[in-house]
Amino acid sequence: MDTVKIPSELDPALQNSLRQLIAEFVIVSIFYHPQQNGISQLIIVLVSNLDLQLVESKKWIANAFINYGLFIHVTDEFTLESNLSIGNPFSMAYCRKPAVLYSNADGVGCSATSWSSCKKKYRQYTERFYHDHDLLLSESRRMKNYSSQLGT
């Protein structure tokens, strides 16, 4: 059974667009994080990455930041689950059960664990990030020292 709880604080046109999107595409879940003094986040998780570009190309999604101060992220279920498993801080922070606007009964699509239990994955994620960052930075500096036209 699908659950839809679109908050009334969202613009009516945006509410209708979300309902239409849910009817048009196979969506696992939608997460919403409102911010009073910042940019609100809406994460749309599709079942397959085949429809990603179709959803991202919707005009109301492209204009959501300008019109509503809402940043919309579109991803697929596999990418979300792999981001959660490797400790991506964005996925762990925003794809949580309390932020669910819509949830398809078939899909998991969100993190049920607490932030404290994710610290080990997050630490490993940051170590991998900085390791790769340092490697790329040293390679770019080396190419710059050799006056390489290809690397810079």
Per-residue model confidence as pLDDT tens for the chain (152 residues): 455 667 677 888 888 899 999 999 999 888 888 887 878 889 999 998 899 999 999 999 989 889 888 899 999 988 888 887 777 777 777 777 777 888 886 555 565 556 666 677 777 777 777 778 888 888 888 877 777 665 44
For helices 119-145 and 77-86, the axis angle rounded to 10 degrees is 90
Alpha-carbon span 80 to 38, nearest angstrom = 24
| pLDDT of res. 24 | 92
| pLDDT of res. 54 | 92
What are the contacts of 116-122 at 24+ separation with CB within 8 A? 118/87, 118/92, 120/87, 121/85, 121/86, 121/87, 121/92, 122/87, 122/89, 122/92
Alpha-carbon span 60 to 37, nearest angstrom = 22
Q: Roughly how many angstroms between the first and final C-alpha of the chain, as a whole number?
A: 53
Map residue 69 onto helix, strand or coil. coil
CB-based contact 104:29 (threshold 8 Å):
yes
| pLDDT of res. 99 | 79
CB-based contact 31:94 (threshold 8 Å):
yes
pTM over cut 0.75: no
Classify burial at 86, counting beta carbons within 10 Å of its beta carbon; exposed 0-12, middle 13-18, buried 19 or more: middle
Residue count of the chain: 152
